Amino acid sequence: MRVLGIETSCDETGIALYDSQQGLVGHALHSQIAVHAEYGGVVPELASRDHVRKVLPLIRQVLRGTGFGAEQIDGVAYTTGPGLVGALLVGSAIGRSLAWAWGVPAIGVHHMEGHLLAPMLEAEPPPFPFVAMLVSGGHTQLVLVEGIGRYQVLGESLDDAAGEAFDKTAKLLGLPYPGGPELAQLAQQGDPGRYRFPRPMTDRPGLDFSFSGLKTFALNTLQAARREEGEMVSRQTLADIARAFEDAVVDTLRIKCRRAVRQSGVSTLVMAGGVSANQRLRAAIGAMMQKEGGLAYYPRPEFCTDNGAMIAYAGWQRLRAGQSEPLRFSAQPRWLMETLQPV
């Protein structure tokens, strides 16, 4: 069974083709960084228009690259939510229309389920059950995963997600868009002993997160540095603040993951989403799981951010189980993972 995957939830257009016998046979990704950079963040209308321009050319590119024609596609999967409603409607409309024209079933995929299953694309996928930490620009969640569609959210962010906090703090420091990777790069030059930021909500029971206070703490630290050094603080001071912020986020996520693993009694941890590409976070989670006697799994960096491969794989799992969409399409900007049907 070959499934075409379409991802258009935010600011990246991802297309992929997954084959049940060969695995992932082709994928392509278009980033909208250049489109949104001058605005310092994603502009929803511009994102939607760029998806309209890019989806069909990328589908043609992937099909040419794999050598398969439309008549050899057995199903179409597309992101239905959560995400930007206009961007979601682009992928949903095109994906459902292609499925109708080709006479094959279609399935709307939950964006975060795609991230959660992205490590399944690797040569050694994680076994069920596992605890998943989903860390992206819009979501920070700990999920107990007993099987596909069998999810229990253990904890989530009560305000800013980790990736959102990275981006907002980077903007405070004057770093270019997208801020998260820029902040992580700057933090490599920082002195870890100069500043210490709080580890929010780690001094109380529970598995929820809160990162908005770290952003405020970073602003207050920057303002104090400006009073000492003048309006143009040194590059080293900015790097020291970035390092303290990153250390606080990484340590908070590590503490919460350890707590979730111990409480659930599950010795396998999956980390996915854009922030899971952070090297310091990967090292911390890997070391923690080794101490706990368990294993940590991650998707390769190119599949940490939004991509069509994870949507094609998640869609294949549901299509092969007999699930499909009627002849209509929709977008769900907000969509709880617990409402998904099990496979």
Ranges of each domain in the chain: 2-118+303-339, 128-298
For residue 159, name the pLDDT band (cuts at 50, 70, 90): very high
- pLDDT tens digit string along 34-65? 999 989 899 999 999 999 999 999 999 999 99
Q: Which amino acid is at 68?
A: F
Pair type for strands 150-156 and 140-147? antiparallel
Find out whether 138 is annotated in a ligand binding site: yes
Q: Which residues lie below 8 Å from residue 39, measured CB to CB, with a gap of 6+?
A: 46, 177
| pLDDT, position 281 | 96
The CATH number that domain 128-298 falls under is 3.30.420.40
Does residue 137 carry a pLDDT above 90? no
Find out whether 167 is annotated in a ligand binding site: yes
pTM as predicted? 0.95
User: How much is the average pLDDT of 154-180?
Assistant: 94
Find out whether 137 is annotated in a ligand binding site: yes
Q: Which residues lie below 8 Å from residue 117, measured CB to CB, with a gap of 6+?
A: 148, 310, 313, 314, 317
Does residue 210 carry a pLDDT above 90? yes
- pLDDT tens digit string along 67-80? 999 999 999 999 99
- pLDDT tens digit string along 245-292? 999 999 999 999 999 999 999 999 999 999 999 999 999 999 999 999
Please tell me if the domain spanning 2-118+303-339 has the same topology as the one spanning 128-298.
yes
- pLDDT tens digit string along 293-310? 999 999 999 999 999 999
Residue with tokens 């970073």, as numbered in its chain: 218
| pLDDT, position 138 | 85
Find out whether 134 is annotated in a ligand binding site: yes
For residue 323, name the pLDDT band (cuts at 50, 70, 90): very high
| pLDDT, position 99 | 98
Burial class (CB in 10 A: 0-12, 13-18, 19+), 279: exposed
Could you please state the CATH topology (level 3) that the domain comprising 2-118+303-339 is classified under: Nucleotidyltransferase; domain 5 (3.30.420)
Find out whether 180 is annotated in a ligand binding site: yes
* Mean confidence (pLDDT) of the chain: 96
- pLDDT tens digit string along 71-105? 999 999 999 999 999 999 999 999 999 999 999 99
* Closest C-alpha to 5, from 332, 339, 314: 314
Q: Which residues lie below 8 Å from residue 297, measured CB to CB, with a gap of 6+?
A: 119, 122, 124, 125, 126, 130, 268, 269, 270, 271
